[in-house]
Amino acid sequence: MAIPIRGRQLFGEGSDLAAWLALITQSHGDRRISKQPLQELVTAHWARGATLLKKDWESSGREMGRFVARLGELANFPGDVGNDDVGLPTPPAPTLAGEVRLPIGEVARDLRTDENVEFTLNGPGGSPHMAIMGGVGSGKTRTAVHMLKTLRRFGKVPLLAFDFKGDLAGGLSAIYSAEVVRPPEESIPLDVLDVSSDDDIAIKTAAARIRDSIASVKSRRPSGVQSEALREAIATTLKARTAGRIIALPDVARALVAEYEERGRGPDELTSTLNELTQFDLFVPDRSPADFFSRSWIILLPQDSSEEMRRLIMNLTLNALDKWLNAQPDAPTDGEGARSLRHLTLLDEAHVVLKTRLPALANLVRMSRSKGGVVVLASQSPDDFEGAEDDYLDNMGMTLAFNTQARPGPATRIFGSGYSLTGLNVGEAFCRIRSEARTRKIVSWEP
Ligand SMILES: Nc1ncnc2c1ncn2[C@@H]1O[C@H](COP(=O)(O)OP(=O)(O)OP(=O)(O)O)[C@@H](O)[C@H]1O
Ligand SMILES: [Mg+2]
Protein backbone atom coordinates (compact mmCIF):
# COMPACT_ATOMS: atom_id res chain seq x y z
CA MET A 1 0.00 0.00 0.00
CA ALA A 2 1.43 3.34 -0.97
CA ILE A 3 1.40 5.81 1.86
CA PRO A 4 0.64 9.24 0.54
CA ILE A 5 3.16 11.21 2.58
CA ARG A 6 5.22 13.39 0.32
CA GLY A 7 6.78 15.47 3.04
CA ARG A 8 4.85 18.56 1.95
CA GLN A 9 2.19 19.28 4.44
CA LEU A 10 2.10 16.66 7.15
CA PHE A 11 -0.41 18.16 9.54
CA GLY A 12 -3.51 20.30 9.40
CA GLU A 13 -6.90 20.21 7.69
CA GLY A 14 -6.70 18.31 4.39
CA SER A 15 -3.02 17.53 4.94
CA ASP A 16 -1.31 14.33 3.87
CA LEU A 17 -1.30 12.95 7.41
CA ALA A 18 -5.03 13.52 7.82
CA ALA A 19 -5.67 11.94 4.42
CA TRP A 20 -3.40 9.01 5.23
CA LEU A 21 -5.07 8.37 8.59
CA ALA A 22 -8.48 8.54 6.94
CA LEU A 23 -7.39 6.16 4.20
CA ILE A 24 -6.01 3.50 6.54
CA THR A 25 -8.89 3.53 9.01
CA GLN A 26 -11.44 3.52 6.23
CA SER A 27 -9.63 0.83 4.19
CA HIS A 28 -9.52 -1.41 7.20
CA GLY A 29 -13.19 -0.79 7.86
CA ASP A 30 -14.45 -2.08 4.52
CA ARG A 31 -11.65 -4.69 4.07
CA ARG A 32 -10.79 -3.55 0.59
CA ILE A 33 -7.03 -3.81 1.02
CA SER A 34 -6.41 -7.55 1.05
CA LYS A 35 -7.83 -10.88 1.92
CA GLN A 36 -4.41 -12.35 2.85
CA PRO A 37 -4.28 -13.20 6.60
CA LEU A 38 -0.77 -11.74 7.18
CA GLN A 39 -1.59 -8.62 5.28
CA GLU A 40 -4.82 -8.39 7.19
CA LEU A 41 -2.98 -8.57 10.47
CA VAL A 42 -0.52 -5.91 9.43
CA THR A 43 -3.35 -3.79 8.14
CA ALA A 44 -5.26 -4.24 11.38
CA HIS A 45 -2.20 -3.22 13.37
CA TRP A 46 -1.61 -0.15 11.24
CA ALA A 47 -5.26 0.71 11.38
CA ARG A 48 -5.33 0.50 15.14
CA GLY A 49 -2.25 2.72 15.38
CA ALA A 50 -3.76 5.15 12.93
CA THR A 51 -7.02 5.25 14.88
CA LEU A 52 -5.13 6.02 18.05
CA LEU A 53 -3.05 8.66 16.31
CA LYS A 54 -6.20 10.17 14.88
CA LYS A 55 -7.74 10.30 18.33
CA ASP A 56 -4.66 12.02 19.71
CA TRP A 57 -4.66 14.40 16.76
CA GLU A 58 -8.29 15.30 17.46
CA SER A 59 -7.80 15.61 21.20
CA SER A 60 -4.87 17.97 20.63
CA GLY A 61 -7.25 20.33 18.89
CA ARG A 62 -5.55 19.56 15.53
CA GLU A 63 -2.60 21.67 16.62
CA MET A 64 0.83 20.41 15.67
CA GLY A 65 2.66 21.59 18.83
CA ARG A 66 0.13 19.99 21.16
CA PHE A 67 -0.02 16.83 19.06
CA VAL A 68 3.79 16.37 19.17
CA ALA A 69 3.86 17.11 22.91
CA ARG A 70 1.08 14.54 23.43
CA LEU A 71 3.03 11.88 21.49
CA GLY A 72 6.16 12.71 23.51
CA GLU A 73 4.12 12.29 26.68
CA LEU A 74 2.75 8.93 25.57
CA ALA A 75 6.21 7.70 24.55
CA ASN A 76 7.47 8.83 27.93
CA PHE A 77 10.04 11.19 26.45
CA PRO A 78 11.26 13.99 28.72
CA GLY A 79 9.45 17.23 27.93
CA ASP A 80 12.69 18.95 27.01
CA VAL A 81 15.58 16.65 26.21
CA GLY A 82 18.56 17.23 28.48
CA ASN A 83 16.85 19.95 30.39
CA ASP A 84 15.96 18.85 33.87
CA ASP A 85 15.67 22.36 35.25
CA VAL A 86 12.35 22.95 33.52
CA GLY A 87 9.01 21.35 34.20
CA LEU A 88 8.42 19.72 37.55
CA PRO A 89 11.35 20.15 39.94
CA THR A 90 13.13 16.89 40.79
CA PRO A 91 12.58 16.14 44.48
CA PRO A 92 15.75 16.01 46.59
CA ALA A 93 17.30 12.56 46.97
CA PRO A 94 16.37 10.89 50.29
CA THR A 95 18.79 10.86 53.19
CA LEU A 96 19.57 8.50 56.07
CA ALA A 97 19.00 10.21 59.43
CA GLY A 98 20.65 9.56 62.80
CA GLU A 99 24.17 9.34 64.16
CA VAL A 100 26.42 6.80 62.44
CA ARG A 101 29.33 5.42 64.51
CA LEU A 102 31.82 3.07 62.92
CA PRO A 103 34.55 1.01 64.61
CA ILE A 104 37.88 1.53 62.82
CA GLY A 105 38.34 -2.04 61.58
CA GLU A 106 37.35 -5.44 62.88
CA VAL A 107 39.19 -5.04 66.21
CA ALA A 108 39.41 -1.24 66.57
CA ARG A 109 41.24 -1.16 69.89
CA ASP A 110 43.39 1.68 71.25
CA LEU A 111 46.75 0.14 72.09
CA ARG A 112 47.38 2.48 75.02
CA THR A 113 43.96 2.79 76.63
CA ASP A 114 42.36 -0.44 75.38
CA GLU A 115 39.29 1.62 74.42
CA ASN A 116 37.15 0.69 71.48
CA VAL A 117 37.87 3.31 68.79
CA GLU A 118 34.88 4.53 66.82
CA PHE A 119 34.49 7.28 64.26
CA THR A 120 31.27 9.29 64.37
CA LEU A 121 30.85 9.84 60.67
CA ASN A 122 28.26 12.58 60.77
CA GLY A 123 28.84 14.31 64.11
CA PRO A 124 28.19 18.06 64.45
CA GLY A 125 30.65 20.16 62.48
CA GLY A 126 32.81 17.19 61.53
CA SER A 127 33.74 15.74 58.18
CA PRO A 128 32.46 12.28 57.17
CA HIS A 129 35.28 11.58 54.69
CA MET A 130 37.91 8.94 55.39
CA ALA A 131 41.40 8.29 54.07
CA ILE A 132 42.88 4.84 54.61
CA MET A 133 46.54 4.35 53.74
CA GLY A 134 48.97 1.49 53.85
CA GLY A 135 51.47 -0.56 51.89
CA VAL A 136 50.56 -3.50 49.67
CA GLY A 137 48.50 -6.05 51.57
CA SER A 138 48.29 -3.98 54.78
CA GLY A 139 44.51 -4.35 55.06
CA LYS A 140 43.16 -1.12 53.51
CA THR A 141 40.48 -2.71 51.36
CA ARG A 142 39.28 -5.08 54.04
CA THR A 143 39.07 -2.27 56.59
CA ALA A 144 37.15 -0.01 54.18
CA VAL A 145 34.77 -2.86 53.32
CA HIS A 146 34.24 -3.66 57.01
CA MET A 147 33.41 -0.03 57.81
CA LEU A 148 30.99 0.24 54.88
CA LYS A 149 29.32 -3.01 55.89
CA THR A 150 28.84 -1.64 59.40
CA LEU A 151 27.49 1.60 57.97
CA ARG A 152 24.84 -0.30 56.03
CA ARG A 153 23.40 -1.55 59.34
CA PHE A 154 22.29 2.02 60.09
CA GLY A 155 20.07 2.09 57.02
CA LYS A 156 20.00 2.46 53.26
CA VAL A 157 22.42 4.79 51.48
CA PRO A 158 23.46 4.35 47.85
CA LEU A 159 27.07 3.38 47.25
CA LEU A 160 29.38 3.94 44.30
CA ALA A 161 32.57 1.88 44.50
CA PHE A 162 35.42 1.51 42.03
CA ASP A 163 36.92 -1.94 42.28
CA PHE A 164 40.40 -2.48 40.83
CA LYS A 165 41.12 -5.97 42.04
CA GLY A 166 37.72 -7.58 42.13
CA ASP A 167 37.88 -7.72 45.93
CA LEU A 168 35.02 -5.34 46.74
CA ALA A 169 32.11 -6.93 44.95
CA GLY A 170 32.09 -10.04 47.19
CA GLY A 171 31.83 -8.03 50.40
CA LEU A 172 29.64 -5.16 49.29
CA SER A 173 27.42 -6.01 46.32
CA ALA A 174 24.87 -8.12 48.19
CA ILE A 175 24.68 -5.95 51.29
CA TYR A 176 24.20 -2.75 49.24
CA SER A 177 22.14 -4.50 46.53
CA ALA A 178 24.72 -3.05 44.16
CA GLU A 179 24.83 -3.77 40.48
CA VAL A 180 28.30 -4.78 39.30
CA VAL A 181 29.35 -3.29 35.94
CA ARG A 182 32.44 -4.35 33.99
CA PRO A 183 33.43 -1.78 31.40
CA PRO A 184 34.37 -1.93 28.54
CA GLU A 185 32.49 -5.24 28.03
CA GLU A 186 29.49 -3.71 29.81
CA SER A 187 28.58 -0.05 29.49
CA ILE A 188 27.91 2.05 32.57
CA PRO A 189 24.27 3.17 32.24
CA LEU A 190 24.97 6.78 33.23
CA ASP A 191 24.30 9.90 31.21
CA VAL A 192 27.70 11.58 31.64
CA LEU A 193 26.87 14.29 29.09
CA ASP A 194 23.90 15.55 31.07
CA VAL A 195 23.36 19.32 30.91
CA SER A 196 21.15 21.02 33.46
CA SER A 197 19.75 23.60 31.05
CA ASP A 198 20.11 24.77 27.47
CA ASP A 199 21.30 28.25 28.33
CA ASP A 200 24.73 29.30 27.19
CA ILE A 201 26.31 29.51 30.63
CA ALA A 202 25.08 26.05 31.68
CA ILE A 203 26.48 24.57 28.46
CA LYS A 204 29.83 26.34 28.85
CA THR A 205 30.16 25.28 32.49
CA ALA A 206 29.24 21.66 31.74
CA ALA A 207 31.64 21.64 28.77
CA ALA A 208 34.53 22.95 30.88
CA ARG A 209 33.95 20.28 33.52
CA ILE A 210 33.71 17.45 31.01
CA ARG A 211 36.82 18.86 29.31
CA ASP A 212 38.70 18.63 32.64
CA SER A 213 37.58 15.02 33.08
CA ILE A 214 38.85 14.11 29.61
CA ALA A 215 41.98 16.27 29.64
CA SER A 216 43.32 14.79 32.86
CA VAL A 217 43.15 11.26 31.51
CA LYS A 218 46.66 11.57 30.09
CA SER A 219 49.53 12.29 32.42
CA ARG A 220 50.72 15.01 30.04
CA ARG A 221 48.22 17.85 30.12
CA PRO A 222 46.94 19.17 26.77
CA SER A 223 48.24 22.55 25.66
CA GLY A 224 46.08 25.67 26.00
CA VAL A 225 45.04 25.45 22.34
CA GLN A 226 44.13 21.73 22.56
CA SER A 227 42.23 22.31 25.75
CA GLU A 228 40.28 25.21 24.26
CA ALA A 229 39.42 23.20 21.13
CA LEU A 230 38.25 20.30 23.27
CA ARG A 231 36.01 22.55 25.35
CA GLU A 232 34.53 24.05 22.18
CA ALA A 233 33.95 20.56 20.71
CA ILE A 234 32.18 19.43 23.88
CA ALA A 235 30.07 22.61 23.92
CA THR A 236 29.03 21.98 20.29
CA THR A 237 28.05 18.42 21.18
CA LEU A 238 26.08 19.52 24.23
CA LYS A 239 24.25 22.14 22.16
CA ALA A 240 23.25 19.45 19.67
CA ARG A 241 21.92 17.51 22.61
CA THR A 242 19.82 20.33 23.97
CA ALA A 243 18.41 20.66 20.46
CA GLY A 244 17.11 17.12 20.81
CA ARG A 245 19.84 14.92 19.31
CA ILE A 246 20.94 11.82 21.14
CA ILE A 247 24.67 12.14 21.73
CA ALA A 248 27.42 9.99 23.17
CA LEU A 249 31.18 10.22 23.71
CA PRO A 250 32.08 9.31 20.08
CA ASP A 251 30.23 12.50 19.05
CA VAL A 252 32.69 14.48 21.19
CA ALA A 253 35.60 12.77 19.41
CA ARG A 254 34.07 13.63 16.01
CA ALA A 255 33.35 17.21 17.06
CA LEU A 256 36.98 17.59 18.16
CA VAL A 257 38.23 16.52 14.71
CA ALA A 258 35.83 19.04 13.12
CA GLU A 259 36.97 21.74 15.53
CA TYR A 260 40.61 21.02 14.69
CA GLU A 261 39.84 21.19 10.95
CA GLU A 262 38.16 24.54 11.42
CA ARG A 263 41.27 25.79 13.16
CA GLY A 264 43.55 24.33 10.50
CA ARG A 265 45.07 21.78 12.89
CA GLY A 266 45.90 18.23 11.98
CA PRO A 267 45.17 15.22 14.20
CA ASP A 268 47.40 14.92 17.27
CA GLU A 269 47.81 12.93 20.47
CA LEU A 270 44.57 14.30 21.94
CA THR A 271 42.41 13.36 18.94
CA SER A 272 43.95 9.90 18.77
CA THR A 273 43.50 9.27 22.52
CA LEU A 274 39.89 10.36 22.34
CA ASN A 275 39.25 8.29 19.22
CA GLU A 276 40.80 5.28 20.87
CA LEU A 277 38.89 5.62 24.13
CA THR A 278 35.55 6.30 22.49
CA GLN A 279 35.72 3.11 20.42
CA PHE A 280 34.22 1.41 23.43
CA ASP A 281 30.77 2.19 24.69
CA LEU A 282 32.02 2.98 28.19
CA PHE A 283 28.79 4.80 29.02
CA VAL A 284 25.24 4.59 27.69
CA PRO A 285 22.85 7.39 28.65
CA ASP A 286 20.18 5.04 30.04
CA ARG A 287 19.95 6.72 33.45
CA SER A 288 20.08 10.34 34.48
CA PRO A 289 22.62 11.17 37.23
CA ALA A 290 19.72 11.49 39.72
CA ASP A 291 18.48 8.01 38.86
CA PHE A 292 21.94 6.44 38.64
CA PHE A 293 23.25 7.81 41.94
CA SER A 294 20.13 6.83 43.84
CA ARG A 295 21.17 3.18 43.37
CA SER A 296 24.32 1.29 44.34
CA TRP A 297 27.01 0.39 41.81
CA ILE A 298 30.32 -1.40 41.87
CA ILE A 299 32.38 -0.53 38.82
CA LEU A 300 35.08 -3.06 38.07
CA LEU A 301 38.21 -1.52 36.62
CA PRO A 302 40.63 -4.41 36.22
CA GLN A 303 44.29 -3.55 35.95
CA ASP A 304 44.64 -5.18 32.56
CA SER A 305 42.59 -2.35 31.03
CA SER A 306 44.53 0.80 30.11
CA GLU A 307 45.13 3.35 32.83
CA GLU A 308 43.72 6.03 30.53
CA MET A 309 40.46 4.15 30.20
CA ARG A 310 40.19 3.62 33.94
CA ARG A 311 40.81 7.30 34.54
CA LEU A 312 38.26 8.36 31.94
CA ILE A 313 35.64 6.15 33.56
CA MET A 314 36.39 7.43 37.08
CA ASN A 315 36.69 11.07 36.03
CA LEU A 316 33.44 11.20 34.07
CA THR A 317 31.52 9.30 36.73
CA LEU A 318 32.88 11.47 39.55
CA ASN A 319 32.16 14.60 37.54
CA ALA A 320 28.53 13.55 37.14
CA LEU A 321 28.36 12.65 40.85
CA ASP A 322 29.85 15.96 41.96
CA LYS A 323 27.44 17.91 39.75
CA TRP A 324 24.42 15.99 40.98
CA LEU A 325 25.32 15.78 44.68
CA ASN A 326 26.46 19.36 45.09
CA ALA A 327 23.23 20.57 43.45
CA GLN A 328 21.18 18.85 46.18
CA PRO A 329 19.81 20.85 49.10
CA ASP A 330 21.81 20.56 52.32
CA ALA A 331 21.15 17.29 54.14
CA PRO A 332 19.13 17.91 57.29
CA THR A 333 20.67 17.59 60.75
CA ASP A 334 18.86 16.08 63.74
CA GLY A 335 18.44 17.49 67.28
CA GLU A 336 21.96 16.29 68.22
CA GLY A 337 23.48 17.89 65.14
CA ALA A 338 24.03 14.61 63.24
CA ARG A 339 23.93 15.26 59.51
CA SER A 340 21.87 12.82 57.42
CA LEU A 341 23.73 10.82 54.77
CA ARG A 342 22.82 10.80 51.10
CA HIS A 343 25.58 9.06 49.14
CA LEU A 344 28.76 7.02 49.68
CA THR A 345 31.74 6.81 47.33
CA LEU A 346 34.59 4.36 47.78
CA LEU A 347 37.73 4.99 45.78
CA ASP A 348 40.07 2.09 46.36
CA GLU A 349 43.50 2.65 44.78
CA ALA A 350 42.68 6.36 44.99
CA HIS A 351 46.14 7.38 43.78
CA VAL A 352 44.97 6.64 40.21
CA VAL A 353 42.53 9.52 40.37
CA LEU A 354 44.43 11.68 42.88
CA LYS A 355 47.23 11.91 40.31
CA THR A 356 44.86 13.38 37.74
CA ARG A 357 44.08 16.33 40.01
CA LEU A 358 40.47 16.10 39.04
CA PRO A 359 38.49 19.18 40.13
CA ALA A 360 35.36 17.04 40.58
CA LEU A 361 37.03 14.91 43.27
CA ALA A 362 38.36 18.00 45.02
CA ASN A 363 34.84 19.47 44.97
CA LEU A 364 33.32 16.27 46.31
CA VAL A 365 35.77 16.15 49.18
CA ARG A 366 35.47 19.87 49.93
CA MET A 367 31.78 20.46 49.48
CA SER A 368 29.70 17.30 49.58
CA ARG A 369 29.66 16.85 53.37
CA SER A 370 26.84 19.37 53.80
CA LYS A 371 24.88 17.49 51.10
CA GLY A 372 25.27 14.19 52.94
CA GLY A 373 28.11 12.91 50.75
CA VAL A 374 30.76 10.57 52.14
CA VAL A 375 34.04 9.85 50.31
CA VAL A 376 36.33 6.99 51.35
CA LEU A 377 39.77 7.10 49.75
CA ALA A 378 42.14 4.14 50.06
CA SER A 379 45.68 4.71 48.91
CA GLN A 380 49.20 3.48 49.55
CA SER A 381 50.82 6.42 51.26
CA PRO A 382 50.27 9.97 52.53
CA ASP A 383 52.61 10.93 49.69
CA ASP A 384 49.83 10.15 47.19
CA PHE A 385 47.85 13.05 48.57
CA GLU A 386 50.70 15.51 48.55
CA GLY A 387 50.77 16.22 44.82
CA ALA A 388 47.05 16.98 44.77
CA GLU A 389 46.28 20.65 44.37
CA ASP A 390 43.59 20.56 46.99
CA ASP A 391 44.28 19.69 50.51
CA TYR A 392 42.34 16.47 50.66
CA LEU A 393 43.81 15.38 53.93
CA ASP A 394 42.68 18.53 55.74
CA ASN A 395 39.14 17.61 54.70
CA MET A 396 39.19 14.10 56.10
CA GLY A 397 37.22 13.39 59.26
CA MET A 398 39.31 10.27 59.87
CA THR A 399 42.75 9.33 58.59
CA LEU A 400 44.11 5.84 59.13
CA ALA A 401 47.59 4.65 58.19
CA PHE A 402 48.88 1.10 58.28
CA ASN A 403 52.54 0.25 57.79
CA THR A 404 53.78 2.04 54.70
CA GLN A 405 56.70 3.93 53.24
CA ALA A 406 56.11 7.66 53.47
CA ARG A 407 58.23 10.76 53.38
CA PRO A 408 58.36 12.34 56.85
CA GLY A 409 56.70 15.62 55.76
CA PRO A 410 53.23 14.42 54.75
CA ALA A 411 53.01 11.86 57.58
CA THR A 412 53.98 14.45 60.18
CA ARG A 413 51.47 16.89 58.79
CA ILE A 414 48.66 14.40 59.40
CA PHE A 415 49.66 12.61 62.58
CA GLY A 416 52.14 14.98 64.22
CA SER A 417 55.83 14.29 64.83
CA GLY A 418 57.22 11.04 66.22
CA TYR A 419 54.88 8.66 64.38
CA SER A 420 56.82 6.30 62.18
CA LEU A 421 54.59 4.54 59.66
CA THR A 422 57.30 2.02 58.84
CA GLY A 423 57.46 0.82 62.46
CA LEU A 424 53.86 -0.43 62.63
CA ASN A 425 53.14 -4.14 63.06
CA VAL A 426 50.64 -6.06 60.89
CA GLY A 427 47.09 -4.86 61.66
CA GLU A 428 48.30 -1.83 63.64
CA ALA A 429 47.63 1.68 62.45
CA PHE A 430 47.80 5.31 63.40
CA CYS A 431 44.39 6.84 63.51
CA ARG A 432 43.52 10.50 63.63
CA ILE A 433 39.90 11.46 64.12
CA ARG A 434 39.62 15.15 63.37
CA SER A 435 37.17 15.96 66.14
CA GLU A 436 39.49 14.36 68.73
CA ALA A 437 42.54 16.31 67.53
CA ARG A 438 44.96 13.59 68.65
CA THR A 439 46.65 10.58 67.10
CA ARG A 440 45.99 7.13 68.50
CA LYS A 441 47.87 3.96 67.82
CA ILE A 442 45.31 1.23 67.33
CA VAL A 443 44.98 -2.43 66.49
CA SER A 444 42.62 -2.25 63.56
CA TRP A 445 42.65 -5.97 62.77
CA GLU A 446 44.41 -9.06 64.02
CA PRO A 447 46.00 -11.63 61.71
N1 LIG B 1 40.65 -7.77 59.20
C2 LIG B 1 41.46 -8.74 58.75
N3 LIG B 1 41.46 -9.93 59.32
C4 LIG B 1 42.25 -10.90 58.89
N5 LIG B 1 43.10 -10.76 57.85
C6 LIG B 1 43.15 -9.60 57.23
C7 LIG B 1 42.33 -8.51 57.65
N8 LIG B 1 42.58 -7.46 56.85
C9 LIG B 1 43.51 -7.89 55.98
N10 LIG B 1 43.87 -9.17 56.21
C11 LIG B 1 44.84 -9.96 55.45
O12 LIG B 1 45.63 -9.11 54.64
C13 LIG B 1 45.42 -9.39 53.26
C14 LIG B 1 45.39 -8.08 52.49
O15 LIG B 1 44.27 -7.33 52.87
P16 LIG B 1 43.69 -6.20 51.91
O17 LIG B 1 43.45 -6.74 50.57
O18 LIG B 1 42.58 -5.54 52.61
O19 LIG B 1 44.96 -5.25 51.85
P20 LIG B 1 45.19 -3.99 50.92
O21 LIG B 1 45.97 -3.04 51.74
O22 LIG B 1 43.94 -3.52 50.34
O23 LIG B 1 46.13 -4.63 49.81
P24 LIG B 1 46.47 -4.08 48.35
O25 LIG B 1 47.48 -3.00 48.52
O26 LIG B 1 47.03 -5.28 47.67
O27 LIG B 1 45.20 -3.60 47.77
C28 LIG B 1 44.13 -10.17 53.22
O29 LIG B 1 44.07 -11.02 52.13
C30 LIG B 1 44.16 -10.91 54.52
O31 LIG B 1 44.96 -12.05 54.40
MG1 LIG C 1 43.34 -3.20 48.37
Task: Write the residue with the smallest CA distance to atom 25 of ligand 1.
Answer: 136
Gap from CA of 194 to ligand 1 centroid (Å):
38
Alpha carbon distances (Å) from 6 to 52, 64, 308: 22, 17, 49
pLDDT in tens, 186-202: 999 999 998 878 889 99
Gap from CA of 192 to ligand 2 centroid (Å):
27
9 versus 219: the higher-pLDDT residue is: 219
* CB burial string 171-185: b at 16+ within 10 A, e below: bbbeebebebbbbee
The Cα–Cα gap between 300 and 224 comes to: 33
What pLDDT is stored for residue 3 in this prediction? 37
Average pLDDT over residues 101-125: 95
Looking from the CA of residue 134, the nearest atom of ligand 1 is 21
pTM: 0.80
Share of the chain above pLDDT 90, in %: 57
pLDDT in tens, 207-244: 999 999 999 888 788 899 999 999 999 999 999 988 88
User: Looking at the CA of 133, which ligand is closest?
Assistant: 1
Domains along the chain with CATH numbers: 16-74 (no CATH), 101-189+288-443 (3.40.50.300), 200-277 (no CATH)
Beta bridge partners of 102: 119
pLDDT in tens, 430-440: 999 999 989 99
Gap from CA of 312 to ligand 1 centroid (Å):
28
Q: Using alpha carbons only, how large is the chain's radius of gyration in Å?
A: 27
Neighbours of ion ligand 2 (CB under 5 A): 141
Looking from the CA of residue 167, the nearest atom of ligand 1 is 17
Reported as half-sphere exposure (CB side, CA atoms, 13 A), residue 277 has a value of: 24
Gap from CA of 143 to ligand 2 centroid (Å):
9
Average pLDDT over residues 353-377: 89
94 versus 340: the higher-pLDDT residue is: 340
In the structure, which protein residues have their CB atom closer than 6 angstroms to any atom of ligand 1?
106, 134, 136-142, 167, 445, 447
Mean residue pLDDT of the chain comes to: 84
Q: Is the pLDDT confidence value at 71 over 80? A: no
Q: Is the pLDDT confidence value at 300 over 70? A: yes
